[in-house]
Structure 1
Amino acid sequence: MIFQDNVIKEYLKNVYFITGTPCGGKTTVSRALAEKYGFELFDVDERFDEHKKMSNPLFQPAMNTYFNSADEFFGRTVEEYKNWLLNNTREQLEFVLLDLIRLSENKKVLCDCHLTVAQALAFSEPARVVFLIKDPSNLVDEYGNRPDHQGFFQYLNSATDIEKAKQTVNITLYELNVNRIEEIKSSSFFWIERTVDSTVESTLTCVEKHLGLI
């Protein structure tokens, strides 16, 4: 069954989307907003294992790909790694949309997620979407040092050639996001770019104003 965009938008009218690129501040801002306003917080990454249990390898092959070791995981080409990440996100999206429809029926939900500009246009309105972005160069150390990504960082450090594994991740994240950032900046959506001068407080205030919360 295929649902038209206007139908999905109607059923997701109680959902705010905080999306963007890695290390842009999505998780920090989403958690702060959810706590301040009492919104239901829906973190796509935290729901992955739950969605994987419901998935079918025939229909969601990327979500069900198994790697024997860190060397196998990080030993892929950048193109293979990129395609796997993109397919994972695409396959999980159906589970995410159905969860959001159910959760937001009678309350506001804040979704920390990975939407493209096209998906944001299809599922929501600019007034309910914020893109938080960051220069995608050399993200691996910052990404891996976050408390919620310690499992990934430990896995990376179990690779035989750690520096090569880091290089693969850095190149993959850069190639996935460099053009995406330009697309976001030229779109009709509100965006904030994280820099060395950014603060959580200033970013949070800008997001609140855009979403009409203050």
Structure 2
Amino acid sequence: MIFENVYFITGTAYAGKSTMVKLLAEKYNGIACEENYHDVLLPELDAKEFPYVTYTRDLQDWHEFIRRSPEEYLAWINGAAKECEILELRILEDMLKKEDSQNKKIFVDTNISIETLRKIAKHDHVLIMLSDPDISVRKFFERPDKEKQFLYQLIMEEPDPEAALQNYRKGLELINSQENYNRLLNSGFNVILRDEKLGVQGTLELVSKKFGL
């Protein structure tokens, strides 16, 4: 199945994916499927079928989340991404069955893998947005969203906050590795590298152009 009117943005942290999805939907009177939009299905999921996605739902003590080893964190991220793909495809298929969605452009901040995107999306309906791996790690906690600030506060509550912060950053380094960056960069899809000089509106114009809008 090819998703005709769906535009997918994937890439690395701190690249502007969430912002672009929101602004594109506003500009083109479309629908925004923003970061973690699959969470709408979270309450009804079976933990045995979706152990990675439901991990945080069923977590009793969030300090356990930030105490995991970098390798455990990476394994969780990779496992959750695979489960998120299943949920995203389920949501998108249901959306496209609805009459009010069929004539609208849908913009998605996605976890769907590059391999699957090659099968379900038009080539010019996929965009990779990348930021330097070092920036993705270094500025992770500088972002104002509640989730990241919540995690930062948990880290600061640890007996040795600096050690806890370094442990968490090592996990981020594994996720935002140069290898992963290169894999996305060389995926064959259109790529935009984060450029502070462009600003939000300049980036929006470039993204629109890449999508042929």
Shorter-chain TM range is 0.7 to 0.9
**Per-residue CA distance 1:18-69 (angstroms, 9 max, x = gap):** 1111111001111111101011111241432x22212111111112224343
Aligned residue pairs, count: 202
Q: Indicate conservation of the 8 Å contact 1:15/1:109, yes or no.
A: yes
Q: Indicate conservation of the 8 Å contact 2:25/2:105, yes or no.
A: no
The RMSD of aligned alpha carbons is 2.0
The residue aligned with 2:119 is 122
Q: Following superposition of structure 1 onto structure 2, how do residues 85-104 of structure 1 map, counting pairs within 5 Å?
A: 85-104=77-96
Q: Indicate conservation of the 8 Å contact 1:30/1:111, yes or no.
A: yes
Instruction: Structure 1: give runs of 5+ residues left out of the alignment.
Output: 1-6
Determine helix, strand or coil for the equivalent of 1:101: helix
The residue aligned with 1:64 is 54
Change (3 A) 1:109 1:85: same
Structure 2: how far apart are the matches of 1:122 and 1:168? 37
Q: Displacement of 1:140 after TM fit?
A: 4.9
**Do residues 75 (structure 1) and 74 (structure 2) align?**
no
Residue 40 of structure 1 is aligned with which of 31, 35, 50? Answer: 31
Change (3 A) 1:83 1:29: same
Instruction: Structure 2: give runs of 5+ residues left out of the alignment.
Output: none
Q: Indicate conservation of the 8 Å contact 1:21/1:133, yes or no.
A: yes
- TM-score, scaled to structure 2: 0.85
Change (3 A) 1:83 1:195: same
**Per-residue CA distance 1:114-159 (angstroms, 9 max, x = gap):** 2332232132122101111111225356333333x22332233123
Q: Indicate conservation of the 8 Å contact 2:84/2:111, yes or no.
A: no
Q: Indicate conservation of the 8 Å contact 2:22/2:32, yes or no.
A: yes
Structure 2: how far apart are the matches of 1:43 and 1:194? 19
Structure 1 vs Structure 2: percent identity of aligned residues?
A: 26
Determine helix, strand or coil for the equivalent of 2:41: helix
- TM-score, scaled to structure 1: 0.85
The residue aligned with 1:143 is 140
